[in-house]
Amino acid sequence: MGRTALELMGQGGLGYSFDPLVADAADQYGSALKDLMPSLAQVRGLHQYIPLFEAIVPARWRRTVAELIPAPPLKRIMHIVDTLGTRSAEIFQTKKQALLAGDEALKEQVGEGKDLISVLLKANMAASKEDKLPEDELIGQMSTLTFAAMDTTSNALSLTLWRLAQNPEVQNTLRKEILEAQEARGGGDIGYDDLVALPFLDAVCRETLRVHTPSPFRFRETHRDVVLPLSEPIRGKDGRMMHELHIPKNTSVFIGINASNTNQALWGPDAYEWKPERWLSPLPDAVLDAKIPGVYANLMTFWGGGRACIGFKFSQLEMKVVLAVLLSHFTFELTEKRIWWNMATVQYPSADPRGEHPGLPLKTMPLKAILVHGDVPPEHMQRPGDLVVVVHAATASARMLGGSRSARLRSIQAAAAAAVFTRAASRKRRKLSRSRMLKHRWRADTPVTEGSAGSVRVERPVQGVRLPTPNVLAVTCTSVQGVTSPSLKAILGPSVREASGMGMGDVPA
């Protein structure tokens, strides 16, 4: 999720492609951003000494002194800061040169100069001398915007997938809504207006952002004396009821966003429960009457007022697009591993209790698996994201034909699932490849036509999910290196029937 969020923010916010999700390893910039919060969490005890450090150490000596401190997490943080600063400076110079070169150069950039940083640079170049921002501040803004957009949204998506894996009935309902929207457009991508209008998708996103605020608290410091009115009176230490609080200047204030979002006095006794359906009916009067000052859905998730998150619309759209793509191609289940949700300003998942290795392991299964023998001609290619699995002929019988028919079908499904979704499954893919079960996979560009040679239709959806269109397994020929139609019949069992009548006569109708 982190790589996806970084790439979307890179293209939309910076007009730059960090990581097109082709390589197995993440981009160095993305890895640095992902490691920043876990590294900061390991030195949280040093935060209180930062003002003292700044007061007694001149700015030009701070880096040298910091490098002398024997703390490995601190050294990792300095390396991360260097990585972010260097890449941001490179992107800044590239964007600046393109702006100076004119419109033709901008058209060659990602986003054609319509990204956030290009707009900011144009405005800064046109500003008066006293209003111009220095270049180092602009570069710092780039890193700040990217980090804010990547960590929070990627973790919100992880939380959503985790909840969907825990609640398969909710996952199936959401998938049905997404697939029906795709079918209404002839199987193509869902347009913006249709996507944001999907009620259950919106409800799932809202409920996740309510119960699991990616950044559940904030710290602020008052710059003047203020009187804070209370929505409900509270009893003070002296026993008197207070209707407002006097907060002196220079007071540190801790704001619990999650406490507001899950306040049982507003949301009811089930406030802590993840229930997307609550958004499909009118909200409780207590929520509406409370006049929560947030910019989103009567929640404080994206803050409010002049300090509200400037990218909250971008974040909502990103969540919906990613969920629509993933759920239309895969199902998600929990693994046996325990998931630890760690707190380092933002929540992030890990499979280890120390939280040193962020990640959310989930079982994934493709909704459509295509079993292929030999080369794949263009007419058998599928839409982007569909899975094509090549089963090595010499090992198909030995490894897949034993056991019951249901066990054989599960073997194919397991082999397919091991080869898809993310490059994080590369170890499993290599293991299967070494055993010669899986040789390769393709992501294709054009749909297979019904009735094409060698295609068979699955009567029973792979995961028991009722799809608007049936699953298809495409087979390019009936005999390759000893694997014949009877072998395919034995592998697939009663779950397929002949679709084209071309070369598949011994597959049961």
Annotated binding site for heme: 309
37 in Cβ contact with 20 (< 8 Å):
no
> Residue 267's CB: how many other CB atoms inside 10 A?
23
Name the DSSP class of 483: B
Parallel, antiparallel, or unpaired for β 340-344 and 241-247? unpaired
Cα 232 vs. chain centroid, distance in angstroms? 38
How buried is 130 (Cβ within 10 angstroms: 0-12 exposed, 13-18 middle, 19+ buried)? Answer: exposed
Residue 508 CA to residue 68 CA, distance in Å, equals 74
What is the CB neighbour count within 10 angstroms for residue 133? Answer: 14
Q: Is 85 helix (H, G, I), strand (E, B) or coil?
A: helix
For residue 194, report the phi and psi dihedrals to the nearest 5 degrees.
-70, -40
The span from the CA of 279 to the CA of 332, in Å, is: 23
**Hunting for tokens 């490179």 — which residue is that?**
90
Biggest alpha carbon–alpha carbon distance for the chain = 89
Q: How do the residues of the chain divide into helix, strand and coil, expressed in percent and rounded to 5? A: 50, 15, 35
Q: Are 33 and 6 in contact (CB under 8 A)?
A: yes
249, with CB counted inside 10 A (0-12, 13-18, 19+), is exposed
Binding-site entries: 309
Per the structure block, which two tokens stand in for 3? 């790589």
